Structure 1
Amino acid sequence: MSVGFVGQVLQYIGLAPLVPLLAALYYGESILPFVVTSAVMLAVGLLFERVLGREGELGRREAFLLVSLAWLAVPLAGTVPYLVAGTGTVASPVNALFESMSGFTTTGATVLGRISVERHGHAMLLWRQLTQWLGGMGILVLMVAILPQISVGGAQVINQEAPGLSFEKLTPRIRETARVLWGIYAGFTLLAALVYAVLGAVGVAPTMDLYNAVAHALTTLPTGGFSPEPRSAEAFVPAIQWAMMPFMLLAGTNFALFWHVFRGNPRHLTDNAEFRAYLLAVLGVGAVLSAVLYLGVGIAEAPTNVDPIAGNVENALRQGLFQTVAIITTTGYASMDLNTWDASAQTILLFAYFLGGSAGSAAGSIKIVRWVIAKRATDRSLFVAAHPDAIRPVRLNDDVVEEETIMEVLVFVVLFLGLFALGTVLLYLDSHRTPELTLSGLEAMSAAIATLGNVGPGYGPVGPMDSFLPFSDAAKLFMVFLMWIGRLEVLSVLVLFTPSFWTR
C-alpha cells in the first residue's frame, strides 16, 4: 500500500521537469532530458499505483515506509535528466545518483567541478536548483497539501519527514497546515528572488541577472546551496552576500513561527526558546570566527579572489558571519574558499556543522532544539544529583518536556554522532586506497558531517570550490546513504532495519 502511494508521489513530481523544459525552450537547449524524465516518472508512478494500489489508512508503520521509500524513489528518478543528457561528470549512474540525492535532500554536496558546471546549460542547472527547492519543505508535506488520499494520515507522514521533534498543527485540518507551510516557503522564495533581481537590475550586482536571482532563491530557502556559479557566493559582490544572510536565517527558522507572526503575534517568535538559542549560536560562532579572521590568525594563505581580510572589519565580519550562517543553517554557500583557512578557523566552523537550524525549518543536522533539551536535561540531572528528593521537570517554552521526548533526543544525538564517527573512519580509510584522494582526519570529518548533516561542502578536496568527484563509487554510495538517512533524521530509516518493524 505504501508503495502505491509512492507511485502517486512520482506522478506529481513528474510535472516538475516541465519547469526546466520551458527554460530549455527559452535558451534554445535540448528538451529531451526533461521530456524523458517526466514520462518516466509518470509511467513508473502510474504502474506502482495501478499494480500495488493505495487503499487503506496510513498508520505509523506505513508512514515510516512511505517516507523512506519516497525519499529513495524521487532521487532515483531525479537522475534521469543527467543520464539522458550524458554531459559532464554526472553522466555516470553513481555520480548522477549522488547529485540527485544531494539535491532533493538539500545537502549541496556536488560531483560537479568548475569545468563540469560550465558545460551544463541553463535548463540542466535549473533542474539541479529545483530539486533542492522541492526537497526543502518536504516532498511528502507537498503531497499532503495537494492529495486528499494522503492527508488522511498526513500527520503521521509529516511527523516522519519534517525535521525536528514533532510537527505543529497550525490549523484544524492537516492539509491546510501543509498548504500554509508551503505558502510561507514559496512566499519567502519569491521575496528572495525579487531582492536578488533588484540588486542586479539597479547595477549594485551586475552579475546577478534574473536567471541567477531565481536560481539562488531556489537554493537559499531550502538551505540547499547549489549554485550555477562554480565559486558559489564568492562570484558576487558583498551586497549580495549580505542580502543572502537574512534569507538563510529565515530558512533555518521554524516556519510555523512565521504563521503566528503573520497572524499578529510576533512575541510567539521572540519568546521562543529555540529561536533565541538559534540566534545566540549564530552570533556567538560568527563573532568568534570574525575575530579570528580579523586578527589574521585563521588565514593559512592569502585568498586570491577576495579582498584582504586581516585588519579589514567589514570583510572579516562578512566572511565570518556568512560562513557561520551558511553552515549552521546547512545552506552550504561559500563567500570564500575555506581551504585558505588554517586548522584553527576550520575547527571553529566544524563545531557549527553539528548545530543545525530550528525544528520545522528547511535546515539539517542535529537541530538547535535538541541541544537546548539536552542541556536542560543535563542541568536537571546535575541538580537532582545534589538534591535527590527534588522533582524538577525539563521545560521548553513554559511547557514540560515529556521524559519520552528527552529519551528520544538523547538517542538521536547518540545515533547521529555514532554514524558521524563511523562515516569519518570509513571515508578516511577509503580515501587512502583511492590514488587521487588522501584525506586528513579533519577533512574526513568534514566530509562525513557535510553529508550526514545535509550541509554540503567540507574541507580539502571537498571544499566549497571543489567537489566530491575524486571519491570512489563505493564511498559515494555510502554518502548517498548518509544524505538519505540524515534528511529523514536517522530513526525514520533505521527503524526499517529492525525485525520488530516487520512483525505485528
Structure 2
Amino acid sequence: MAVRVNWRQSVAFTGTVVKYLAVAMLVPLAIGLLYGEDVVVFLFSIGIAVVIGLALERLDDDPQLGAREALLFVALAWGAVALVGAVPYVIAGYGTESTLRYPVNALFESMSGFTTTGATVLGAISLERHSHALLMWRQLTQWLGGMGIIVLMVAILPEAAVNGAQLIESEAPGPELQKLTPKIAETARLLWLFYLGFTALYVAILIGLHYAGMAPNMDVYNAVAHGFTTLPTGGFSPQADSIAAFSPAVQWVVIPFMLIAGMNFALFYLLVQDDYVEFLRDRELQAYLGANAGMIVILWGFLFTGSAPPLELGGVTEGALENSLRQATFQVASLLNSTGYATSDFAQWGTTAQGLLLFAMFIGGSAGSTGGGVKVVRWLVVIKAIRRQLFTTAHPNAIKPVRLGGHVVDEEVIRAIYGFTLLYLLTFGVATVLILLDAGRVGLEMTTLEAVSASLATLGNIGPGFGFLGPFGSYLDFPATSKLLMVFLMWIGRLEIIPVFVMFTGAFWNE
C-alpha cells in the first residue's frame, strides 16, 4: 500500500518548534548571568536547539498540513521538546554527582516538566546541587507545556495558524475544541492571554506577601518559579518541601489559583463579555467545584477527628481546625486537577485518607484547562450515558438523548468518550502490571498501591504517588526500563492517548 502521510512536513514543522524552544532558553540564560551559574550550559543548549531545529526545517517548506500530518506533528513536537529540553540537564550534570547526568533521568525530568506531570528523579539533596538557572528551566518547561506548546505556536506563527484548528484539537485536553472567536489564531491568543494574566497576578500576590512580612522565604525568584508551575498544574518546586516550605498564608493563596487552573479557560471569555450567568451555569464547572468541595469536606472530617490514623497525619494534628482544613483543601485541590503540590506528606496519612486522594486523582480537571486526568466532562457524560442505558433497558421503546447543560450530546461524541475512557483505564491497568513486573525483575520492593499510583500519576500527569513516591519522594529508584515506560505514559497522557495510539495503526499510514 502507498504511504499516505507526508511525514517530512510533520518533521519540518517539529523543527520550527524546536528552533523556537531556544528562545525560551534565554530565560534561564538570563538567570544564569544574574547568579553567575550555568551560563555555558544554556549557551550550548541554545546552540544545539537552533541547529537541530534548522536542520529539521529543511526537510519540507510546505505550510499545509493534512489531518494526519497534524496528528503526527503534534506527537513529534511534544517528544522533540522533551528530548531537546533534557540537554541542559545532561550538560549541567556531566561530571557531577547529579542524577540528571544520566540521559534517561534527564529525559524523565524533561518530559515530566513539559507534560506538567511533576514526577521527579530529584530528591532534596539533588535539588540543592543545581543552579538557580537550571531549576528555573525546570519550572519554565511546565509553564510552556501548561496551555500547550502548539497553542502558543498557533498564536504567534502565521504558518501554524493555517492548520490551527486541527493542531489545537490534537493537543488540547478535553473531548472538543471550543472556539472563542471565528479565527483560531485569535482564540489561541486569548487563551494564552488569560494564562499569562493569571500567572502575573499570582506572582504579584506572592511577592506582595513577601514584602508584607507574611512569607519571609517567598522571594522574587521563588514567586516567579512557582508562578511557572501553579497555573499549568505542574507541581515542580525549587524547594524540596514543595509548598510546605512556605507559610500558611502562601498555602491559602495557592489554593484558589490551583482551582482556577483546573477550570476551562474558555469560560473566562464569558467573564470578559460580562456574561456571569452563563459562566455560573456551566455544568462542568459546577461539577468540578462540587467535586472539590465535597471531597474537601470529607477529607477535612478525617483529618480533624483523627479517624484516619495515625493521629499525627504527616503534619496534620488531630483537632487543629485551621491546619486540618488547610491541608484537606490544599491536597484535594492539588491532586484532583493534577497539580501535585503538597503541604504535608500525605503518603504517611491513614489508608482512608489515601484512598480518598487516590479517587480524586482519577477525576481530573476540566476540558480546556491545564489539568490532567480523564476530565470532569467525560465523567459527566459517562454517568449520564449509563443512566440512559439503565432507563432504556426498563423502557425499550423510549428515545432518551443524553443532555449536558441543556444541550444534546451527539452520539458520536459519547462513543468517543467511551472509547477514550476505556483505553485510558486499560492503559493504566497494563502499565501498573508492567511496573510491578519490572520492579520484581530488579528486586525493587514495591506495594501494589505504589505501582498503581506510579501508573496513574504519570498517565494522568499528576506527579506524586504513595509510599516512596509520596510528595517528598522521588522516582529515582525505578529501573531505566520503568522510567522509559513512564516517559511514554506522560507523553500519551498529555496528548490524551488516542492521537498517539492511532499512529501505531496501519490505517493511519496507508491509503
TM-score range, shorter chain: over 0.9
Residue 260 of structure 1, aligned match among 263, 266, 270: 270
What residue in structure 2 maps to residue 459 of structure 1? 466
Q: How far apart in 2 are the matches of 1:35 and 1:354?
A: 41
- 1:396 corresponding residue in structure 2: 404
Offset of residue 30 of structure 1 = 2.2
CA distance in 1, matches of 2:69, 2:193: 27
Which residue of structure 2 aligns with residue 449 of structure 1? 456
Of 176, 185, 204 in structure 2, the residue corresponding to residue 175 of structure 1 is 185
* 1:246 aligned partner: 256
- Distance across 2 between alignment mates of 1:49 and 1:209: 41
Are the equivalent residues in 2 in contact too, given 1:338–1:464 (CA < 8 A)?
yes
| Equivalent residue, structure 1, for 2:216 | 206
8 Å contact kept, 2:312–2:318: no
CA deviations 1:413-450 (Å, max 9, x no partner) are 11101111111111122222334x31111111111100
2:129 pairs, out of 116, 119, 122, with 119
Q: 1:328 pairs with 327, 333, 336, which one?
A: 336
SS in 2 for 1:354: helix
Unaligned segments of structure 1, at least 5 residues: none
Contact 1:334–1:464, Cα closer than 8 Å, also in 2? yes
1:106 aligned counterpart, secondary structure: coil
User: 1:310 maps to what in 2?
Assistant: 318
- How far apart, in 2, do the equivalents of 1:205 and 1:48 lie? 46
Match of 1:495 in 2: 502
Separation (CA, whole Å) in 1 of partners of 2:501 and 2:278:
34
Listed one character per residue, the Cα deviations across residues 20-68 of structure 1 (whole Å, up to 9, x for unaligned) are 1000111111211111111111111111111x11305222211110100
> Which runs of no fewer than 5 residues in structure 2 stay unpaired?
1-8
Moved more, 57-66 or 140-149: 57-66
Write the distance in 1 (CA, Å) between the matches of 2:414 and 2:310. Answer: 42
Count of aligned residue pairs for this structure pair? 500
Q: Give matches, 1:211-222, under 5 Å.
A: 211-222=221-232
Give SS of 1:14's match: helix
What's the CA shift string for 1:308-359, capped at 9, x where partnerless?
A: 5211111111111110000011000001011221221111110011100000
From 80, 87, 93, give the equivalent of 1:80. 87
Question: Which is worse superposed, 394-403 or 173-182?
Answer: 394-403
In structure 2, what residue type is equivalent to 1:273?
R
2:44 paired residue among 36, 42, 52: 36
Q: Give the Cα–Cα distance (whole angstroms) in 1 for the partners of residues 74 and 254 of structure 2.
A: 31
Q: Distance in 1 between matches of 2:224 and 2:72?
A: 34
What is the deviation of 1:303?
5.4
In 2, Cα distance between the equivalents of 1:318 and 1:364? 23
Give the TM-score of the pair, scaled to structure 2. 0.96
C-alpha deviation, 1:299, in angstroms: 3.7
2:350 equivalent among 337, 342, 349: 342
In structure 2, the residue matched to 1:90 is 100
* Correspondence for 1:482: 489
Cα distance in 2, alignment partners of residues 236 and 8 from structure 1: 39
Q: Is the 8 A contact 1:107 1:456 kept in 2?
A: yes
TM-score by length of 1: 0.98
Take 2:436 and 2:351, find their aligned partners in 1: how far apart are those partners?
Answer: 18
CA contact (8 A) 1:2 1:54 kept: no
Q: Determine whether 1:60 maps to 2:92.
A: no
Residues in 2 aligned to 1:19 and 1:299: alpha-carbon distance in whole angstroms: 45
1:362 pairs with 2:373: no
Distance of 1:89 and 1:286 partners within structure 2: 36
Partners of 1:292 and 1:24 in 2: CA distance: 45
Report if the CA contact (8 A) 2:311-2:317 is conserved: no
Task: Work out whether 1:284 is the aligned partner of 2:294.
Answer: yes
Question: % of aligned pairs identical?
Answer: 53
Q: Distance in 2 between the 1:121 and 1:487 partners?
A: 28
- Residue 74 of structure 2 aligns to a residue whose secondary structure is helix
Q: CA deviation at 1:301?
A: 6.4
User: 2: distance between equivalents of 1:483 and 1:185?
Assistant: 22
Say if 2:479 is the partner of 1:472. Answer: yes
- Distance of 1:237 and 1:340 partners within structure 2: 21
Contact 2:63 2:162 survives alignment (8 Å): no
Structure 1 contact 248–325 (Cα < 8 Å) conserved: yes
* In the alignment, structure 1 residue 152 sits paired with structure 2 residue 162: yes
Whichever residue aligns with residue 481 of structure 1, its letter is F
- 1:10·1:45 contact (CA, 8 Å) conserved in 2? yes
CA distance in structure 2 between the aligned counterparts of 1:140 and 1:193, rounded to whole angstroms: 25
Per the alignment, residue 2 of structure 1 pairs with: 10
Provide the C-alpha distance between the structure 2 equivalents of 1:166 and 1:376, rounded to a whole number of angstroms: 18
How far has the Cα of 1:150 moved from its partner? 1.2
Which residue type is aligned with residue 220 of structure 2? Answer: L
1:407 and 1:106 map into 2 onto residues whose CA distance is 28
